[in-house]
Amino acid sequence: MPERARVSSAHISPSAHYTGYVWYRHQLSDPTFVTPFGRFVHRLLWPLSWGARAGFGLDIERLLLQRHLQIDALLRKAIEQDGVCQVVEIACGLSPRGRRFRQRYPHVRYVEADLPAMAARKRLLLREAGWLSLEHQVRSVDILAERGAHGLASLFAELDHRRPLLVITEGLVNYFPLAVVEAFWTRLAEQLRGFAEASYVTDLYPDLREHPRYRQLRWGVELIGRLTRGSYPLHYRDHAEIVAGFQRCGFRQAQVLDPDTDSASLGLEPARAPGLVRVIQARV
Ligand SMILES: C[S@@+](CC[C@H](N)C(=O)[O-])C[C@H]1O[C@@H](n2cnc3c(N)ncnc32)[C@H](O)[C@@H]1O
């Protein structure tokens, strides 16, 4: 059976409510993006995240903040220093980033995209808040679609191919087996090559076997998989494998960032244990 046929995304969307609430709790978001379900799940998982932090030193919210703030920092730099004026955020969920960046950089066109149901929800929230405009839109996309209305080609067709573009995914790729992720990245790189200048930023949880908390991490990942009735595979063993993976997919260059090294500039406490998340910036 082809990999595509065995993969489903349906179980993933609820997690966007949880992260949406985490961004709000940490003053990164607006009440507009908070849902009762997000609040409920956060309360439900609180004993678990408290236990992981107290018992194993695994701080789930810190992990989320690291990736979110590191991606923000890269986006700010891309806009201020590299002239990026178009952003596409795939798997936007209930993330406030589009709203925050549109407020700060009104000249930037921001297209948020997600599976149709989540996209419809986000569009409604933005419209009701009066924030939807020609320069801030929400589109339907399915990263598993090879073609058609929800494929990547349709999403990028409406953008200006002569102007610099940055594409973001956050909290998406580790929900899928590596072959599926690399097929998506290959299709993405193909689209990005159609632009005068384009790059891609994503978070990634590598399979860091030498990490002192590796066993607890595997246990946590297994538990999250069971709770969300999906799986959460870890990809690549080290930075060299990550870079090779991106190059295999058609990216010319990939830079792997460890948010631990930027804790101070990201406004986070210094790390107490080596971090688990990486943020990648790849160019075509
Ligand atoms: C963990 S949430 C992350 C949301 C947001 N990026 C954040 O960090 O708060 C994962 C998101 O991926 C979206 N998603 C899942 N499968 C997808 C697919 N095949 N194509 C596009 N988006 C997908 C879900 O709907 C959900 O919004």
Residue 6 confidence (pLDDT): 53
Quote the ligand 1 centre to 73 CA distance (angstroms): 21
Give yes or no for a contact between 86 and 159, defined as CB atoms under 8 angstroms apart: yes
If you measure from the C-alpha of residue 13 to the centroid of ligand 1, how many angstroms do you get, rounded to a whole number? 6
Q: Is the pTM higher than 0.85?
A: yes
Report whether 211 contacts 234 (CB < 8 A). no
Pick the CATH number of 3-283 from 3.30.1490.440, 3.20.20.70, 3.40.50.2020, 3.40.50.150: 3.40.50.150
Smallest CA separation from ligand 1 atom 11, residue:
91
CB of 119 sitting under 6 A from ligand 1 = no
Chunked in runs of 10, what are the mean pLDDT values of the chain (284 residues)?
A: 56 89 97 96 90 81 95 98 98 98 98 97 97 98 96 97 98 94 98 98 91 78 70 89 98 96 91 87 98
Pocket test for ligand 1, best of 11, 167, 172 (most atoms within 8 A of CB): 172
Q: Which atom of ligand 1 is nearest to the CA of 95?
A: 9
Distances (CA, A) of 183 to 2, 125, 162, 178, 186: 12, 32, 25, 8, 5
* Residue 92 Cα to ligand 1 middle (Å): 6
User: Residue 16: CB within 6 Å of ligand 1?
Assistant: yes
Domain positions in the chain are 3-283
Q: How far is the CA of 9 from the centre of ligand 1 (A)?
A: 9
